[in-house]
Amino acid sequence: MKLGNRAIVAGAGIGGLAAAAALAPHFTEVLVIDRDTLPDGIAPRLGVGQGVHTHQLLKAGELALERLLPGITDDFGKAGAVSMTVGRDIRVYDFGGWMDDCDAGFAVTSLSRPAYEGVLRKRVAALANVKLQGETPIRRFAVADGRCTGVELEDGSTVTADLVVDSTGLTTPLLKQLADDGHAEFPTEEIRINVAYTTARFRRPEKYRSEETGVFILPSPPENIFGLLLPIEDGQWILSLGRRGGDVPPRDPAAFKDFAKGLVAQDVYERIKDAEVVGDLKTFRKPTATRHLLWDAKKWPDGLLVIGDAMSSVNPTYGQGMTVAACEADALETMLANRAVESVGLDGIAADYFRAAGEISGRAWSLSINSDYVYPQTEGERPANFAMSRAIAATLRKLADDDVEFRVLRYKLVHMIASADALREGQMGIKFFTALQGSMAS
């Protein structure tokens, strides 16, 4: 049973493409509209301001995309993705030391953002009832009688739809326009995290050519310089060097390499010091983490859903953005499939979807913001539960040093494939709360 004739997705990034894959089984036609020129192959897009920087598809995001588009992980591999076993091939320095090696039991792919998007765009474009339409700016969402009925384009024409998904990202004006038109009223939370980073791509030197290792250096205060190095397609590394507050890392290649010496651990600098830079260096600033609490909206048009950064945008350092969008799309497909089986149509779908999407994005928000609040460069009063959150994180980190079971769980929590409920259940729960009580008593 089809739930409608046409669905529209505004935005052809990772979230929009994943949403199109979720919608395709349930609508006669799915139209994906974007203001950018959409590349035929793998290339950066002007509308993706952070697109040339380091990205990581966490395991939960990979699994979600695989459910939506079976075989997509193999497609990433054919595009040159490096497969890395988490815990062994990805070295992590945080809380003042290196995580000991282990096999966490799962692997992730590593590609540039344009490559991830290019592979996904090709798969979605191949779906018979999906059409991708670039160079088509949207002016506003069309709403009548409390329901979104389509989109109004910049040329004044209107395209009707039974369901609309907004995946235009945080900086587009569509949600503000929706509120200004009197069709929506919702709270927004904003936290100044004051993060900036510069990214370079390097050709891997011969002695590192067979090494498929990523390095994440996330220091504890007072250190505030971080680095994220990943192997990607074409025998290259992509490296983002950043800091909280203060000056932006340099874009001059020699100065950029010199800046890497400031990392609390030297593994990144040792790898890039003699490596050839590929292309220009780019800088990205992320002053705020922002989310629209649409599940608490006082007024919202039914038939309009929001996905990915358009609803919640956190510190990109933690690599959650693509994964949250993919998981939200996966949840949407499950919801639509259930509605088709139950023959209940689309009425009330916005409220149901925002409850599910809010839970997904909320997990990423909590993980990210609780880490951001550790740094004095993050502005604002800390929440009442902040001390407890940090005690929990520190206890889990200490247990992970001594116990591989906790180490694996920590990686699974980061990759959003495990629930924190594991810390409250069984023998792990007993051991965890005993350690937590001990740390708080000392």
Compute the distance between CA of residue 26 and CA of residue 344 in angstroms, rounded to an integer: 13
- Predicted confidence at residue 210, as pLDDT, reads 87
Give the per-residue pLDDT at 211. Answer: 87
Are the C-beta atoms of residues 151 and 142 closer than 8 Å to each other? yes
Buried b (16+ CB within 10 A) or exposed e, 362-388: ebbbebbbbbbbebeebeeeeeeeeee
pLDDT the model gives residue 438: 78
* pLDDT over 90 percentage in the chain: 85
Q: Residue 366 has what pLDDT?
A: 92
Coil, strand, or helix at residue 209? coil
Is 21's pLDDT higher than 60? yes
Instruction: Give the pLDDT confidence score for residue 413 in this predicted structure.
Output: 94
Name the nearest CA neighbour of 142 among 103, 174, 120: 174
DSSP 106-164: -EEEE--HHHHHHHHHHHHHTSTTEEEE-S--EEEEEEETTEEEEEEETTS-EEE-SEE
Q: Mean pLDDT score of the chain, rounded to an integer?
A: 94
Q: Count Cβ atoms below 10 Å from residue 37 Cβ, excluding itself.
A: 12
Q: Is pLDDT of 340 > 90?
A: yes
The span from the CA of 14 to the CA of 328, in Å, is 11
Stretch 32-58: mean pLDDT: 87
Instruction: Tell me if domain 4-82+111-187+291-370 and domain 190-289 are identical in fold.
Output: no
Percent of residues in the chain assigned helix, strand, coil, to nearest 5: 40, 25, 35
Most confident of 46-55, 74-83, 389-398: 74-83
- At 99-152, the pLDDT tens digits run 999 999 999 999 999 999 999 999 999 999 999 999 999 999 999 999 999 999
Beta bridge partners of 294: none
With a CB cutoff of 8 Å and minimum separation 6, the contacts of 19 are: 9, 165, 167, 305, 307, 325, 328, 329, 332
Amino acid occupying residue 155: D
DSSP 37: P
Sign of torsion, CA 292 169 141 3?
negative
**Best CATH choice for the domain 190-289 from the list 3.30.70.2450, 3.40.50.300, 3.40.50.1010, 3.30.930.10:** 3.30.70.2450
Regarding pTM above 0.85, the answer is yes
Q: Residue 164 CB: number of other CB atoms within 10 A?
A: 28
CA distances, 338 to each of 2, 169, 302, 335 (Å)? 12, 28, 18, 5
Which residue reads 């046409």 in tokens? 6
Summarised one tens digit per residue, pLDDT across range 225-275 is: 999 999 999 999 999 999 998 788 999 999 999 999 999 999 999 999 999
pLDDT of residue 411: 95
Per-residue pLDDT, 1? 80
Say which range, 29-43, 294-308, 393-407, 419-433, has the weakest mean pLDDT: 419-433
Q: Which amino acid is at 381?
A: E
3-state class of 176 per DSSP? helix
Report percent pLDDT > 70 for the chain. Answer: 99
Sorted by where each begins, the domain ranges of the chain are 4-82+111-187+291-370, 190-289, 386-441
* 309/400 Cα distance (integer angstroms): 31
pLDDT of residue 51: 74
Q: Which range has the worst mean pLDDT, 38-52, 135-149, 210-224? A: 38-52
CATH topology assigned to domain 4-82+111-187+291-370: FAD/NAD(P)-binding domain (3.50.50)
Indicate the range of 133-147, 323-337, 413-427 predicted with least confidence. Answer: 413-427
Contacts of 441 (CB under 8 A, 6+ apart): none
pLDDT of residue 439 exceeding 60: yes
Read off the pLDDT of each residue in 432-439 and give the average, rounded to a whole number: 86
Query: What are 354-387's pLDDT values in tens digits?
Result: 999 999 999 999 999 999 999 999 998 999 989 9
Structure tokens at 190: 């904003």
**DSSP 8-state secondary structure symbol assigned to residue 168:** S
Banded pLDDT at 52 (limits 50, 70, 90):
confident
Cβ-proximal residues to 242 (8 Å cutoff; 6+ apart), any chain: 195, 196, 197, 198, 225, 226, 227, 249, 317
pLDDT tens for residues 298-309?
999 999 999 999
Q: Residue 442 pLDDT more than 60? A: no
Predicted local confidence at residue 441, as pLDDT:
60
